[in-house]
Amino acid sequence: MANKVFSVKEISKSFGSEKNGNYMEVIKNISMDIYEKEFIVILGNSGCGKSTYLKILGGIESATTGSMELNGENIGACIPPEKLKKFGFVFQNNNLLPWRTAEGNLRIMLKIMKLKGEQWEKRIDEMLEIVGLLDYKKVYPHELSGGMKQRVGIARALVHDPDILILDQPLGALDAITRKMLSYELLNIWKKTQKTIVMVTNNVDEAILLANRIFVLSNKPAVITHEIEVDIPVEERNTMIGQNARYNELREQINNIIRATR
């Protein structure tokens, strides 16, 4: 069995206070084990707390209660600053710096992480090649399509060689055709890099194409209602997947679960 790299134990998150009457519990008692090289997808209705949960996993937010373990070490309710290098984060909006080229956007991440040297400079080209954009390294964001910008964002999240890649609805801002194409690109990126990936989406087809396991969240406060193993071999996850019998079984099962939570 693969090594366990990240564990979440009874994580909850709330905002406001009951005293002031503005208390809101967003996620409640979520526990999850994540293994090396695994692709996890968090699925749920819009507004259920998926992104809040992912921000806790990526060190952007702190949990109200509960704890996390990274490679067996208890790191508490928030990722400590010295552990942030272990994570790469991709947002729904690419958040590229418009005054920097594609390679410049990757280089700023290395600067933030204080990583210097020839091997890191080489890694900029390696990551742009993995996302299919090496020929666009000198191009500015306004000259790139939406899908290309998002691929630069993925390369930027990978450039410092994190153990875990966190994807917060990375395809959500794209048009339907680009989104579908980029979902296959994301699958290829995972195959090439063999990173542990945790991704949030509200798209069932996307989840089945990409995931080893899918966790379905309830409406707010979000709890895990179902854990589903996607037992479709990776080599069968291609543009013909819609004709796969197991894919269609899972699709019907998960759509029924999502409908029942509305």
Quick: pLDDT tens for 8-40: 999 999 988 777 777 888 999 999 999 999 999
* pLDDT given at position 1: 57
111 by Cβ neighbours in 10 Å (0-12 / 13-18 / 19+) ranks as exposed
* pLDDT given at position 45: 83
Query: How does pLDDT run across 78-131, given as a tens digit for each residue?
Result: 999 889 899 999 887 778 999 999 999 999 999 989 888 888 999 999 999 999
CATH code where residue 155 lies: 3.40.50.300
Which alpha helices (DSSP H) does the chain contain, by range?
50-57, 102-112, 118-130, 146-158, 176-193, 204-210, 245-260
| Joined tokens for residue 91 | 């947002």
Query: What's the domain range around 211?
Result: 4-260
* Structural contact between residues 129 and 73, judged by C-beta atoms closer than 8 angstroms: no
Global pTM value = 0.91
Q: At what angle do helices 102-112 and 146-158 cross, to 10 degrees?
A: 30
* Structural contact between residues 257 and 40, judged by C-beta atoms closer than 8 angstroms: no
Interatomic CA distance for residues 240 and 76, integer angstroms: 43
What are the CA-CA distances from residue 93 to residues 138, 146, 147, 185 (Å)? 21, 9, 11, 17
Q: What proportion of the chain, given as a percentage, has pLDDT over 90? A: 64
Contacts 24+ apart (CB under 8 A), 181-185: 181/147, 182/147, 182/150, 182/151, 183/209, 183/210, 184/209, 184/238, 184/239, 185/131, 185/132, 185/147, 185/151
Query: How does pLDDT run across 165-205, given as a tens digit for each residue?
Result: 999 888 777 777 778 888 998 999 999 999 999 999 989 99
pLDDT band at 262 (very low <50, low <70, confident <90, very high): low
What are the CA-CA distances from residue 63 to residues 24, 32, 236 (Å)? 14, 14, 38
* pLDDT given at position 229: 95
Asked whether residue 259 carries a pLDDT value surpassing 90, the answer given is: no
Q: Name the residue among 99, 205, 109 with its Cα closest to residue 143.
A: 99
The number of domains in the chain is 1
